[in-house]
Structure 1
Amino acid sequence: MAIGPESGRTVDRRAVLRGSAAASAAMALPTAALTGLGAAPAQALSGRPRAGWGVQVGDVTTSSGLVWVRSDRPARMVVETSTTGSFARPRRWRGPLLGPGTDFTGTTALRGLAPGAQVHYRVLLSDPDDPRRTGEPVYGTFRTAPAGRRRGVRFVWSGDLAGQGWGINPDLGGYRVFEEMRRLDPDFFLCSGDNVYADGPIAATVALPDGTTWRNITTEEKSKVAETLDEYRGNFRYNLLDANLRAFNAQVPSIVQWDDHEVVNNWYPGEILTDPRYTEKRVDVLAARARRAFSEYFPVPTLRSDRHGRMYRVVRHGPLLDVFVLDMRTHRNANSPGRQPEDAQGVLGAEQSAWLKRELSRSRAVWKVIASDMPLGLVVTDGPTDVEAVAQGDPGAPLGRELQIAEVLRHIKHRRITGTVWLTADVHYTSAQHYDPARAAFQDFAPFWEFVTGPLNAGSFPAVKLDGTFGPEQPFVKAPDRANVSPAEGFQFYGEVEIDGDSGELTVRLREVGGGVLFRKVLQPGRVGQ
């Protein structure tokens, strides 16, 4: 038995550790052999199906969760759940057949679960032609959301993994941040995008400023920018070579969104690339392939491998919390200087913007976390003249994409929607911004907070400037003074959110990997703005 720090909750991890050990075989392979984990040609395999990429659970609610696995060959997915790690009387869930059409990945929906319960599960892969031939089970566990307030909620969030050429470094122990977050034993992990860097090849070595060498585990698919479906799939498989991430996935369920680097840097629909590294220049073609790979490698119930379904959604985590997951990529307009006085499409698109306002009005949760894959008031540029995010640097009245965000903020104020907090990543440093109409050019909104964190394992960058349109004040920021600082030098960040069940207080902690809490802010429930 183990106790998660600050939680007072106990978790039996024996089953998780058994599963993690079984799934760690890939990391024990020499680097040259890792490329063999990419494809799964059935005719070249013998023995029983193997799930060497671990397990994941996504979008957990009070009564449901979505379990993911990948096989090394065609197999039937079967999930067994139990209230204990001994699996004395398991409940059995028959999953899909896993085959090449989904890169041998699959998900199984678990429904009718007890609220606020620790669910132990194991995934079995069986031979489609002989169900008695099964591989070693892979174990995991997760907590369903509570039906009441007493237990409270605690989660972590961050983004940006394997960026700028900084991949899995065995000398540093791989992706150390996931082991640190796992030890906190959160209820779930909110990943704010840039889960992979499909446009960022991983070289075997990188020279560091101090004369030492950074070593990466490498694979064939990560040796170039991703263009084909198989290359995009290989980007998602790459991260799962890390034992820390697999152990984390086996214990902590996720809520995942995407941003630009799942496809290509700063992309928008309809874009035609000029990057000479790409033979396929049409971003819409690349995005469709990336979306399919994303849907295969993450358990997102609203997203399917075809063009139907959507990334944006609300995940309800009991009476204390609703998480509104935005998609600021799929429906945006083209990047531009952002000075147009009218902008109906904006960064969300009209349909998503209407959905967000409607669902915020319907929410009865104490806290409404708006998971934004890009920050609101930080000026993120795309080239010398265009802007990539929302803010464009003009501190006056809203223009361009700011107009759409202003409408959302106005809606929150006029409908007296309480408890909204914006969480994001993207900029590769950590900061806290408080927005107040008393300081703003646009004043028809209630005060709110935005918290920024990341990267998980990528280059870190200097802070960008604030845009005054929504009146931001920045009580905390930590960033390096130069670009693309490697994870070996620190500046790797994640955030923690804890909601107390008795008082309803929401506490945000901005954390640095290996360095503890950098900044702490306590917010009170039931207020329109604070």
Structure 2
Amino acid sequence: MPMRSTRRNFLTVSGAAAALALTGSLPEIRSAAAGWTGRPDRRDPFTLGVASGDPLPDAVVIWTRLAPDPLAPFGGMDRRPVEVQWQVAEDEQFRRVVRTGTAKAQPESSHSVHVDVRGLRPWRHYWYRFRVNGQLSPAGRTKTAPAYDAVLPELSLAFASCQAWWEGWYTAYADMAQRDHDVVFFLGDYIYEFGIDRGIRPHSNEPYITQQTVTLDEYRQRYAAYKLDPDLQHAHAVAPWVVTLDDHEVVDNWADEAHPSAPPAQFLVRRANAFRAYWEHMPLRLAQLPKGPDMQLYRRIRYGRLAEFSVLDTRQYRSDQAYGDGTKAPGPETKDPSRTITGDAQEKWLLDGWAASQTRWNVLAHQTAIARLDTKDGPGVLVPMDTWDGYEASRNRVLGGAAQRKVRNLVSIAGDLHRSVASDLKLDFSDPASATVGAEFVGTSITSGIDGEDLDAGGATLLRENPHMKFGNFQRGYVSCSITPQRWVSDYRVVDKVSVQGGTVSTRAKLLVEDGRPGIAEVQA
């Protein structure tokens, strides 16, 4: 039957999340190092681990989900609320407990718990843990942001994207967890929604991996399957994460209300299901709780006077892809000023924020490449319609707006491409002599694309055809960054093989941006 659904009157099938009560205390819990190996005990409600996210100077979100049978509907839980105790301490042994409380794990939120812990001190490590029905969670470590006016000598961050579970092992996360980052940014494709025939890992032929996700239960099950991975759990448990989604958290290459898989009214139902499951499994605040098919994801994270991160959402408000998507020659449609990848409100929010910024580094944390990616050898230009190449007017307004506002030290971090691409950001990518306004570091995938190679034919073409591109690689991995007032260094960490367990992780290149000099100053390959 035809479905009638708009964003204004859309009703979720799950209902609203309940508020959190803040009372109670916890006894001693095992250390943060425990629980990363072996199969989870089916009696253990914390099979999906713990996580934290969105740090502020005085607050951080801590997360878990009760799921003693994680791949079963409702995670094997009864359909009733459960009281969960939580505790935050200044030491790993929990001798100096500073905040305690209880939260209601509600069945309509798949018994997930999102506690916005307030009253913390800036720029400090904290440890946190949960308890329910006599069962104790692993402990996680998190870190608050510095005070907004703090002069920070250094910030260490990692960013990652694209972690197709069936295409390899999360060796990159094991490496990330050992490198003591202050914060981790995840920039999209936490899960993949489509069905597969087979994969690299054992159990890749199970229905919870091979079937396409459409319903709320199917999306929940897919997240549970991914979050059972011990290396992913470990990476979540050692640092706060700042997350945003891309397309595969819903469906490949969706754009606002449009996707060829269904009419808009039906697609919005699927989008609501996907958003709900996403929020349930991420360390996000109640401010990000979806309202039907809408979710407020773009936001700012600030680290003193050193860096401000504008976290974007380039899916929910974008125009449909130009020329029917794919890789095409740019033309009037890509240049149409009425088309947008951010939406008008988000674009204004971004530019207004830059105008008011007082930080040394101004960072875009988002989904896909801004820099032009000409994929055609020789004369002519072919570019992907799903990246900012398909939305040239948006790109011109954002990069031009940065130049007009004299934004200091603009850096873009992104994912999506399943390859590493580092570029100068130009006002006019068709003119190599055009002014450089910033630097862009696109990270490769954690696993998507399987092993890859150092430089494939496509990467060689990109380097030849795009003079603004300074580095390329087609292996799997992530990017580790060190930021000081004087310099930004991006360390591209790559894995030799994700098709087997125990691959070797190494630094493929270090790229430098210097304060006051837009663009990439040096590549140590």
Q: TM-score, normalised by structure 1?
A: 0.77
- Distance in 2, matches of 1:309 and 1:60, equals 19
Write out per-residue CA displacement over residues 375-425 of structure 1, whole angstroms, 9 at most, x where no aligned residue: 1234499xx997111215xxxxxxxx1111111111111111101101111
After superposition, the Cα gap between the structure-2 partners of 1:200 and 1:445, relative to the gap in structure 1 and judged at 3 Å, is farther
After superposition, the Cα gap between the structure-2 partners of 1:55 and 1:423, relative to the gap in structure 1 and judged at 3 Å, is same
Write out per-residue CA displacement over residues 290-336 of structure 1, whole angstroms, 9 at most, x where no aligned residue: 11111111012241032454111111122211111111111111112
Answering whether residue 389 of structure 2 is matched by residue 391 of structure 1, we say: yes
Task: Tell me the secondary structure at the aligned position of residue 413 of structure 1.
Answer: helix
Task: Tell me the secondary structure at the aligned position of residue 66 of structure 1.
Answer: strand
- Distance in 2, matches of 1:156 and 1:218, equals 32
**How far off is 1:506 after superposition?**
1.3
Does the 8 Å contact 2:439/2:513 carry over to 1? no
Answering whether residue 395 of structure 2 is matched by residue 410 of structure 1, we say: no
State the match for 1:153 in structure 2.
155
Task: Tell me the secondary structure at the aligned position of residue 270 of structure 2.
Answer: helix
Q: TM-score, normalised by structure 2?
A: 0.78
Answering whether residue 43 of structure 2 is matched by residue 57 of structure 1, we say: no
Q: Which moved more, 1:86-95 or 1:413-422?
A: 86-95
State the match for 1:12 in structure 2.
none
Say how many residue pairs are matched: 449
State the match for 2:483 in structure 1.
499
2:414 to 424, 435, 438: 424
After superposition, the Cα gap between the structure-2 partners of 1:416 and 1:80, relative to the gap in structure 1 and judged at 3 Å, is same
After superposition, the Cα gap between the structure-2 partners of 1:342 and 1:116, relative to the gap in structure 1 and judged at 3 Å, is same
State the match for 1:511 in structure 2.
493
Does the 8 Å contact 1:423/1:450 carry over to 2? yes
Answering whether residue 338 of structure 2 is matched by residue 344 of structure 1, we say: yes
State the match for 1:270 in structure 2.
257
After superposition, the Cα gap between the structure-2 partners of 1:437 and 1:136, relative to the gap in structure 1 and judged at 3 Å, is closer
After superposition, the Cα gap between the structure-2 partners of 1:28 and 1:87, relative to the gap in structure 1 and judged at 3 Å, is closer
After superposition, the Cα gap between the structure-2 partners of 1:450 and 1:385, relative to the gap in structure 1 and judged at 3 Å, is closer
State the match for 1:21 in structure 2.
34
- Distance in 2, matches of 1:177 and 1:103, equals 29
> Sequence identity of aligned pairs in percent?
22
- Distance in 1, matches of 2:241 and 2:222, equals 18
After superposition, the Cα gap between the structure-2 partners of 1:454 and 1:224, relative to the gap in structure 1 and judged at 3 Å, is same
Answering whether residue 129 of structure 2 is matched by residue 143 of structure 1, we say: no
**How far off is 1:259 after superposition?**
0.7
Does the 8 Å contact 2:175/2:505 carry over to 1? no
- Distance in 1, matches of 2:306 and 2:82, equals 39
- Distance in 2, matches of 1:439 and 1:266, equals 24
Answering whether residue 184 of structure 2 is matched by residue 189 of structure 1, we say: yes
- Distance in 2, matches of 1:429 and 1:154, equals 22
Task: Tell me the secondary structure at the aligned position of residue 93 of structure 1.
Answer: strand
**How far off is 1:21 after superposition?**
2.9
- Distance in 1, matches of 2:386 and 2:302, equals 30
Write out per-residue CA displacement over residues 441-486 of structure 1, whole angstroms, 9 at most, x where no aligned residue: 49886432111112102215753665999x752221112xxxxxxx
Q: Any gaps of 5 or more consecutive residues in structure 2?
A: 1-27, 68-76, 324-329, 376-381, 496-503, 521-525
2:123 to 116, 126, 131: 116
The one-letter amino acid paired with 2:350 is L
Q: Which moved more, 1:300-309 or 1:229-238?
A: 300-309
Q: Any gaps of 5 or more consecutive residues in structure 1?
A: 1-14, 30-36, 38-46, 126-132, 168-173, 207-213, 393-400, 480-490
Task: Tell me the secondary structure at the aligned position of residue 456 of structure 1.
Answer: coil
- Distance in 1, matches of 2:384 and 2:402, equals 29
**How far off is 1:111 after superposition?**
1.4
State the match for 1:225 in structure 2.
212
Does the 8 Å contact 1:429/1:493 carry over to 2? no
After superposition, the Cα gap between the structure-2 partners of 1:378 and 1:161, relative to the gap in structure 1 and judged at 3 Å, is farther
State the match for 1:178 in structure 2.
173
After superposition, the Cα gap between the structure-2 partners of 1:162 and 1:114, relative to the gap in structure 1 and judged at 3 Å, is same
After superposition, the Cα gap between the structure-2 partners of 1:444 and 1:249, relative to the gap in structure 1 and judged at 3 Å, is same
**How far off is 1:175 after superposition?**
1.5
After superposition, the Cα gap between the structure-2 partners of 1:364 and 1:216, relative to the gap in structure 1 and judged at 3 Å, is farther
- Distance in 2, matches of 1:318 and 1:78, equals 32
After superposition, the Cα gap between the structure-2 partners of 1:252 and 1:83, relative to the gap in structure 1 and judged at 3 Å, is same
- Distance in 1, matches of 2:355 and 2:122, equals 25
Does the 8 Å contact 2:172/2:494 carry over to 1? no
After superposition, the Cα gap between the structure-2 partners of 1:234 and 1:180, relative to the gap in structure 1 and judged at 3 Å, is same
State the match for 1:454 in structure 2.
444
1:375 to 361, 369, 373: 369
Task: Tell me the secondary structure at the aligned position of residue 190 of structure 1.
Answer: strand
CA RMSD of aligned residues (A): 3.1
**How far off is 1:137 after superposition?**
3.4
